[in-house]
Amino acid sequence: MVSDVNYWSKVLKRLFLLALTIGVILIFFKLSIFYMPFLISFVLALLLEPIIRFLMKKWKWTRRISAIFVIVISLLIIVGILAWGVVTLFSEANNLLDSSELYYNKAKELIDSMSQNINIMNRIPPELQSSLETVENNIINTVTNWITGVLTGITNWVMEVPNLILAIFFSIMSLYFLCTDKIYMIDQLEHHLPETWMKRLSKHIKEIAKALAEYLRAEATLIFISFIISLIGLTIYSFMGLNVPFPLLAALGIGFVDALPILGSGTVMVPWAILSALNGDIVLGIAIIGLWAIMSIVRQFLEPRLVGKHIGIHPAFTLIAMYTGYKIWNVTGLIIGPILLIILKNIFAGLLDKGVIKAIFDR
């Protein structure tokens, strides 16, 4: 009887520690979203640290001078890219928003034409025909409203310039202090925390930071490559006179969707090619399929080398994590979900090796 009490007390203790750890991680993510400018500066500081160390070693500069030099050069590059991207994206989003009614009419004409070609409307009762037309209009209106809402959201986000400038200011200042006073901050942390805590914390942070860095580097590389290939291809198509009026906006969407495991860029590009061909623009349809084939070949070649070997998480679990994150945090959760999965995988590596249920309930 006593052994049973001891056993269940150990089980409850393990379950409590597991729940407490997950709760702390979720709270940490909530705080990370709230303090997003500081989180961005922390990630940038991690990325810039190797360059700062290289300059300190190569040119014998102090940490402060090396950090200031690297920060200034990095900010100039980032500001230049963002300025071009925001201006172009804002222009294309406004043009697409103004053209939404035109796309609505084209889509309706295409569906009506398809219905007439297969002579469906002549074979069904008028009541059912009316119902089908209602469903058709509802689908088109829903898609149009969704596109309008997304583009309006982008436009409103761009218009939030004062808040954006304030966030950038805090990010730059915190980046400066993180890069120049890193040693001082670590010393202060060691001074205020127990030594055993620092050892465990340092171990977990290094492992998690390494795993996250590998994951983010791999995903960022794949997204960037997909974005660049699609942007170059669509821009060339636009210069050739094909019907690609918004190459940057389309490339951003393709790059984002290409980051989704299993789905990939074909989720957008294949329907786009089919609709273009059905609309009579066969050349554009073939061109889009060709661009998708190039992107797929490049991704199939790079993905195993960038993701699978380093992360060790099956795409199915990544997909589940993205969906779970989306249900909890909306669009932001698509990024948070996989990151949270990687953190949990590293923290509970011992449980996973033994088997989670077995490790908790094993005597």
The pLDDT of residue 124 is 56
| pTM over 0.85, yes/no | no
Kindly report, residue by residue over 156-166, the tens digit of the pLDDT. 666 666 677 78
Q: What tens digit of pLDDT does each residue of 75-125 get?
A: 898 888 777 777 776 776 666 666 665 666 666 666 666 556 554 545 556
Q: Using CA atoms, how far apart are residues 35 and 23, in angstroms rounded to an integer?
A: 18
CB within 8 A of 361, min separation 6: which ones?
11
Q: How far apart are CA 212 and CA 216, in angstroms?
A: 6
Q: What local confidence, expressed as pLDDT, does residue 168 receive?
A: 82
Is-contact 336 329, C-beta < 8 A? yes
Residue 70: per-residue pLDDT: 92
CA distance 114 to 327: 36
Q: How many CB atoms lie within 10 A of CB 235?
A: 14
pLDDT in single tens digits along all 363 residues of the chain: 546 677 778 778 878 877 887 788 778 777 877 888 888 888 788 778 888 888 988 888 888 899 999 999 988 988 887 777 777 767 766 666 666 656 666 666 666 665 565 545 455 566 556 665 676 666 666 666 666 666 666 666 666 666 777 888 888 888 898 888 877 776 676 667 777 766 777 777 777 777 776 777 777 787 888 889 998 999 899 888 888 887 887 888 888 777 665 567 888 888 888 888 887 888 988 999 999 999 888 877 776 666 655 556 666 777 788 788 778 777 667 777 777 887 777 777 666 666 666 766 766
CB contact set of 199 (below 8 Å; sequence gap of 6+): none
